[in-house]
Chains A and B, each alone.
Chain A
Amino acid sequence: MNDPGPTAPASPYWRTLEELADTPRFREMLAKEFPHGIELKGLQRRRWLQLMGASLALAGLGGCRWEKEEIAPFVHRPVGRVPGKAERYATAMDLAGTPIGLVATCVDGRPIKLEGNPNHPLSLGGTDVFAQAAVLELYDPDRGQDVVRRDGNRREIASWDGFRESLGKFVQSAPEGRGLAILAEASSSPTLARLRGRLTAQLPGLRWFEYEPWSDDHVRLGTQSAFGRPLRPFYRLDQARVILALDADLFGGMPGSVRWMRDFAATRDGNPERTSRLYVVEAAHTITGASADHRLPLSPRQIALFAAGLEAALKRLAAGEKLPESAATESAGNSVKIDPVPFLAAVAEDLWEAGPRGLVAAGPGLPPDAHASVARINDLLKNRGTTLLYYPAADPERPTHVEAVRELAEAMASGDIRGLLILGGNPAYNAPADVPLTDLLPKLEFSAHLGLYENETSRCCGWYLPQAHFLESWGDTLAWDGTYAAVQPTIEVLRNGKSALEILAMAGEFDGSPMQWVRETFAERTAGEGEAAESLWAATLQRGCHPPSQDQSVPDVAAAVEAEGDALGAFADAVRTAASNPSPADGLTLLFCRDASVLDGRFANSGWLQEFPDPMTRWTWGNPLVLGVSTARRLGCQDGRLVSLEIDGRAVEMPVCVLPGVAENTAVAYLGYGREAAGHVGGLADQGIPPVGTNVYPLRSSAAWFVRDGVSVRVLGKTVPIPCVQDHHLIDTVGLASRTERLGELVREVTLQRLNDPEAHYAAEHEVHHPPLESLWTEPSHDGHRWGLSVDLSKCLGCGACVVACQAENNIPVVGKERVLQSREMHWIRVDRYFRGDEDNPQSVHQPVMCQQCELAPCEQVCPVAATVHSKEGLNDMVYNRCVGTRYCANNCPYKVRRFNYFYYHQRVEQPENRLLQLVFNPEVTVRSRGVMEKCTYCVQRIQNAKITARNEGRAIADGEIRTACQQACPAQAIVFGDLADEQSAVSREHASARAYAMLAELNVKPRTKYLARVRNPNPRLTGNGESQEHVGHA
């Protein structure tokens, strides 16, 4: 049983390297039936109790008696308020200066769910994981509640009045504000900018610094050198036919990713007229790389050379010259190795042919020169106005964030700055390692930190000021294209916080309220529009945003032409050198990336985000050092092995994650972990709660902010358990062998060419041959609706917004690291990630798997108490209060999508100090107690709501009226839900597509969810034997 025996027919797909290699470790893992050798060490409840749960426990759920509750009904019900009826308000969220328009769903005065605002240009209805998790942050009991005064080690609760007085005194002692500085986090708020203007006019000596630990400053510098002014590129991926992303994680780490995903996915439906081709050249392996048709891993330095080389190549093409021809690929076994130099030539030609429909995007980590180069490349393609727009960058005069924080530190050290107001952010934690803010801050005469949490920075400052969450304060945001969006409060201030606007007003002693200031800003901006201010404002609040009256994109500015060197040759040389010297003596190149879960560390206390698996590594609760396969092999380390990263006498220890596709000699470190003052979830050193993950900011200096060379990696003797969810849900070697046989059938792909070849008669469902299927049971009949879902694997880019959206909608608990290690995570959707081909540069596929709502559901047949039953509308209903928890259904589920409450996972929110968290629960969804099975319901509460509304209004439910939480959040619109009984519905059309197939249809479970095969659009010049690969999955 434990011996896998002869390897099953080689499938082209694999999930992890260990599976591919079938290592002893992997076998051992299978043999143990526990992914990572977890022993039963009794219950480690302590850590678990510290976790942020998700859902409520209506008082008494867990016990056998009901607590006494006081209910105070309204004597006079407020106008328009219907108890229990959800209301929606438009608002907006600003994340490190990038806004996203949102619609908040509020029930009885509390926001419980955020959706994208379809009117907002950076959302178009989609959201990312951070917007989804914002409601949990709002109700986080760890958020600061009191104004705190710190003096040395003494900490005392103070008041806003006390702070106002102290600030006033300091401002008076600083003539014209000299000696006072403000360090703000990036914000797009026009009102903040206006108040800043007012304040600096009043206090001309006031100095203003802006700092973000990760920003697009290199883009600003690059466009500055190309165009003479900093500009903000805005991609129109929906218009593009050929896209090259140079270290640009368009769909993951980059600002605007929600919009980019939407636009890109729109071109990936297999229509030959508009399907784009995406090339990605990157060092890390991101979901953008996973979405690429061709991907080339290069080290960060080589990518900069690639940009220059590409510019030279395009110039040659523009001059009518030919590029040297050579075979772009070389086949070795069943994998295709890409030679970078011909790859560059092929990309250049493809881009050149696409012309204005071509687009090159560069990531913020590339040096400014590369950005200038990319700007010139785009100019050569003449794509301005079609696939690329430039907007003026905000605050064009500001220094880069690194310079700003260095200047600030120098001024603090020299005594020029005696008082500092920090508006948001956490610079003491995330400033470059050579900027000693933690030493300088306590020495200041006056220092105050405004923040959601009393974090590392607050602990260095004289004052901690609780910040109002954006959902409880007035504000505004400005998208790059000039779209104004108001931030509306949806709830009274919960934690005695104030917004940054109010702090500025305190410093300048301005009159008025945040709403007045915001309205004044809006009135100023729309003064020329001739519409009544009142109605315009009302309309803006209702729509959520107000588009600019005229196009604000920068008209043609020609990029300065750079003198031509032999950039092509330089790139070829660099590639050759790297190839001839696979293990350079000067160590590895370390690349810093924002994390997919906690971003730069600001979301470290969010249980939803900590437990959200990274889309590529699939790790939860922590950040590994990500290495490529060859590099890891050379260093002699495997998954979970602790290594020590050393540079300049600084060292951090962290576990390794081997991720296929990371460039050689490159290590990727995710920022934002190792917080020691985040909260009860993210780590709180003074209460003995260890930090989650490892802090890599100490390795980051202002000179090497994105990329650091010469990092040495020492492999330590210890291996830690890996909180990676990828290998969960597989059982033993029999299961593995059987899965290996089926994998090509679980995920299906087709090339654009084959899909559109009338001779090929492509139909994804014919990839698996099976005898005619006969049912053991009488098949259920249906009257009325037949709900169904489709997931387009071609559009799904793997971002995982659906996972967190589902968690927020359905009150799904957070289980914590120990439980994840035991393979007990509760997410109703898992986004499986598969690799195929060369382990140094594999192709990847993401596949979201939720309950498939089978017609002949295996789970229903085996439940002894009939707790899971079929509804007349074809839903596989779960009756929680009938479930006794035999778990037979989950054993019999071929998709392994059922989740069991092994413990009472909502216990934490019943503790008095955590009761605030109960407000986040969706009252329409049962909070499951322990011992109960749960799974995706197709958001049955949304279906019921729509049915009730439609019945009350005496009409039929329109197609698209019901949207599941995952569908609504999906930035790429990969998920479609609707009524299969209606042949015209969107979901019926998707199900009828040639690309549609049901996973494991051969089991005759008749799933209601269908997948649409992923379309790949390879460049024929680069395919090699790619066509033959396509048929491997054919049974």
Chain B
Amino acid sequence: MTAMSATTVTLEDNTFTDPRRRAPLVLGAADFATVTDRVAGLVERPRPPLGWYIGFGVAFVWMLVFFGLVGYLFLTGVGVWGNNSPVFWGFPIVNFVFWVGIGHAGTLISAILFLFRQHWRTSINRFAEAMTVFAVVCAGLFPAIHVGRVWLVYWLFPYPNPMGMWPNFRSPLLWDVFAVSTYATVSVLFWYLGMIPDLATLRDRAVTPLRRLLYGLFSLGWTGSARNWHVYERAYLSWRPWPLPWS
């Protein structure tokens, strides 16, 4: 124990670099079980707190306003944005770039900081990845709703059709479509990949059959074995540079 005392560190510190000891992942009065209880409890509680309802309500109202305005836009024409000639894109492209920028911030945290081994990112990782996903959704919305005839926007995608028409592969806008779709796909996949062990935890704790089924489905048979973790870490690392070119 004397040897131990020589290397004793305070329980509040998990940043020491003594290779002989594994740094504790949980500090303070908590242990793995209480942390898991606390985190999973948020998801498992029967109903969210009042604050959530208020926050969700405000966001929902804004979303309704947004959909109302988009509906007005669709019914009236893209002229409502005040674009003119030659400023054909003002408002939509500004919004697109704004949201793509927000998404890139999430990518920075989740991917670049991961590659640079910045472990402090883990505390905000999930949040940042979610932000990326939703920001990309917002960003992708604007190129879609900026077009004059929005009901035909699917023509931008290459899909087999009776007209025998393909999009124009020389157009940078088409590559925008590809870039945003790929970025969105990769961001969603990465977000999901990171969640798999957590989904498995929730599955294991699930008390209702529906939860068991759904969490079971999405946790992809995760057992938490060392082999699982090994494959998972390799996959996580190899996936990680993927979103970078798109950002």
- Complex Cα distance A40/B78, Å? 13
Contact A865:B77 (CB < 8 A) given known A885-B147, A888-B173, A891-B89: no
B residues near A729, Cβ cutoff 8 Å: 85-86
Contact B78 A43 (CB under 8 A): no
B79 → A minimal CB distance (Å): 3
- Complex Cα distance A864/B146, Å? 14
- Which one of A33, A863, A885, A902 contacts B168 once the chains associate, using CB atoms below 8 Å? A863
B174 adjacent to chain A (CB < 8 Å)? yes
Contact B85 A824 (CB under 8 A): yes
Binds A, one of B102-110, B148-156, B238-246: B148-156
Would you list which residues of chain A between 751 and 805 have a CB under 8 Å from chain B?
A: 777
B residues near A823, Cβ cutoff 8 Å: 84-85, 87
A635 adjacent to chain B (CB < 8 Å)? no
**A-facing mask of B43-81, CB < 8 A → 1, else 0?**
000000000000000000000000000000000111111
A34 adjacent to chain B (CB < 8 Å)? yes
Contact A864:B171 (CB < 8 A) given known A34-B84, A38-B82, A900-B85: yes
| Residue among A861, A865, A886 with the highest chain B CB neighbour number at 10 A | A886
- Which one of B90, B155, B170 contacts A33 once the chains associate, using CB atoms below 8 Å? B90
- Complex Cα distance A896/B152, Å? 25
Contact A43 B82 (CB under 8 A): no
Contact A864 B84 (CB under 8 A): no
Binds B, one of A422-430, A517-525, A928-936: A928-936
- Complex Cα distance A872/B42, Å? 66
**B-facing mask of A702-744, CB < 8 A → 1, else 0?**
0000000000000000000000000011110000000000000
A901 adjacent to chain B (CB < 8 Å)? yes
Interface residues on A, range: 35 or more
Contact B167 A899 (CB under 8 A): no
The interface size of chain B toward A, counting residues with CB under 8 Å, comes to: 34
B83 adjacent to chain A (CB < 8 Å)? yes
Contact B149 A885 (CB under 8 A): yes
Would you list which residues of chain A between 862 and 917 have a CB under 8 Å from chain B?
A: 862-866, 882-888, 890-891, 896, 898-904
Contact B78 A862 (CB under 8 A): no
Task: Closest B residue to A861 by CB, please name it.
Answer: B170
- Which one of A777, A884, A898 contacts B148 once the chains associate, using CB atoms below 8 Å? A884
B177 adjacent to chain A (CB < 8 Å)? yes
- Complex Cα distance A886/B96, Å? 14
B159 adjacent to chain A (CB < 8 Å)? no
Contact A887 B171 (CB under 8 A): no
A888 → B minimal CB distance (Å): 5
Contact A884 B152 (CB under 8 A): yes
Task: Closest A residue to B88 by CB, please name it.
Answer: A887
- Complex Cα distance A899/B83, Å? 12
Contact A865:B167 (CB < 8 A) given known A885-B148, A887-B88: yes
A730 → B minimal CB distance (Å): 7
- Complex Cα distance A777/B76, Å? 38
| Residue among B82, B88, B146, B153 with the highest chain A CB neighbour number at 10 A | B88
**A-facing mask of B154-185, CB < 8 A → 1, else 0?**
01100000000111101111100100000000
Contact B167 A903 (CB under 8 A): no
Task: Closest A residue to B175 by CB, please name it.
Answer: A864
Task: Closest A residue to B155 by CB, please name it.
Answer: A865
Contact B153 A884 (CB under 8 A): yes
A residues near B167, Cβ cutoff 8 Å: 864-866
Contact A43:B80 (CB < 8 A) given known A887-B88, A887-B89, A891-B88: yes
Contact B165 A884 (CB under 8 A): no
B residues near A932, Cβ cutoff 8 Å: 148-149
B26 → A minimal CB distance (Å): 52
B residues near A891, Cβ cutoff 8 Å: 86, 88-89
- Complex Cα distance A899/B156, Å? 21
- Complex Cα distance A898/B86, Å? 9
B residues near A862, Cβ cutoff 8 Å: 170-173
Task: Closest B residue to A39 by CB, please name it.
Answer: B82
A residues near B80, Cβ cutoff 8 Å: 40, 43
Contact B173 A931 (CB under 8 A): no
- Complex Cα distance A931/B171, Å? 19
27 intermolecular pairs with C-beta atoms under 8 Å apart:
A40-B81, A40-B82, A729-B86, A731-B86, A823-B85, A824-B79, A824-B84, A861-B168, A862-B171, A863-B171, A864-B174, A865-B167, A883-B149, A884-B152, A884-B155, A885-B78, A886-B173, A887-B83, A887-B89, A890-B88, A891-B86, A898-B85, A900-B148, A903-B76, A904-B77, A930-B79, A930-B149
A-B complex: 8 closest residue pairs judged by Cβ atoms: A885-B148, A931-B148, A902-B79, A887-B88, A823-B84, A931-B149, A903-B77, A866-B168
